[in-house]
Amino acid sequence: MSNSLLFDLPKELQPFHQAIENTLLDYLQIKITPITVNNNINTSTLLWQNKFGGLPYLPKNKQYPLNDKGKYLRLVAQLNFTEIQKLKDFPTSGILQFFIDSNDDIYGLDFDNPISQKGFRILYYPEVDKNTNNLITDFSFLGNLAEDSYFPIRGEFTLEFTLNQATISPYDEYFNNYLPELNRENNDLLLDIYGEYYENKFNSIKHQLGGYPYFTQSDPRFAISKDNEPYQLLLQIDSEYFGDGLDICWGDVGIANFFIQPSALKKLDFSQVLYNWDCT
């Protein structure tokens, strides 16, 4: 998708049209559909399927991920890029998995070192083997998924992806780099007008792959040294309710983000992913 999207700007923002349009970024919006409540270890999705929650793709020659105390992590998201629309610099094949700690009331988040994968884990399998004889199919060792009181996902969700575009969010750490004229230090009124315009046109409170993030508090990338390569959004998982014990809820209706440096993404190196979630 090219960055030629035409959009109507409020008259106060029209002088900054080109600068705003230059921030347009492709992303994949994710629609989730609940399929089951995990009252037991059974799952309704294929092991290699795109999903939030449920059971992971795991070859028999690989170890299930553990936290730093030797406890099993839980699958929060699995992305099979063979079945996903292409997104610039993202994988075009293979399975990417996101695990977090369900034994921890902050879901494995390390506030002091958010790239330390002690309480979460990102795994990538470049090739996908659909021969179940080569995969772990018995996950009874995990116990009852429904008993994970700290896990933010209740049930299991299939994923659909839609290619979309958005301009930079006013919540983004790098907003002032792209649109310094709209910086609150320079013009409160313009920033408020942009914020309202952004929320009406591009609201970033959603599940998405790539694009610009949303936060209920502040951008965690502020805590990373300015000398480091900037982190871009890899995956965002929002809170969403469906009823009947099917929901995703990060704390008090918060949102989770996983970030990666562009050079690492191009190399398919997921060892330094930055994980964060927050709520009001």
User: Is residue 265 helix, strand or coil?
Assistant: helix
* Rounded-to-integer distance, Cα 193 and Cα 189, Å: 6
- Looking up tokens 């390569």 gives 229
Residue pointed to by tokens 């914020």: 195
**∠216-221-227 over CA atoms, to 5°?**
165
Asked whether residue 124 is assigned to any structural domain, the reply reads: yes
Q: Decide if 4 is inside a domain.
A: no
Q: Which domain holds residue 158?
A: 11-278
The number of residues making up the chain comes to 280
Three-state DSSP class for residue 199: helix
Indicate whether 4 pLDDT > 80.
no
Across 146-150, 240-244, 253-257, least confident range: 146-150
Q: Is residue 168 part of a domain?
A: yes
- Does residue 36 lie within any of the structural domains? yes
Number of structural domains found in the chain = 1
**Does residue 175 fall inside a structural domain?**
yes
**pLDDT over 90, % of the chain:** 74
Residue 204 has what pLDDT?
A: 74
In a domain, 231, yes or no: yes
Contact 13, 20 (CB under 8 A): yes
* pLDDT over 80 (residue 198): yes
Give start and end residues of each alpha helix (H) in the chain.
17-21, 175-178, 188-202, 262-266
271, part of any domain: yes
* 78 in a structural domain: yes
Residue 185 has pLDDT above 90, yes or no: no
d(CA 273, CA 111): 14
Beta bridge partners of 32: 159
Q: Between vectors from CA 63 to CA 58 and to CA 67, what angle results, nearest 5°?
A: 110
Mean pLDDT for 58-87 is 96
Structure-token pair, residue 28: 């994949």
Q: What is the CATH number of the domain that holds 173?
A: 2.30.320.10
State pLDDT tens for residues 97-136: 999 999 899 999 999 999 999 999 999 999 999 999 999 9
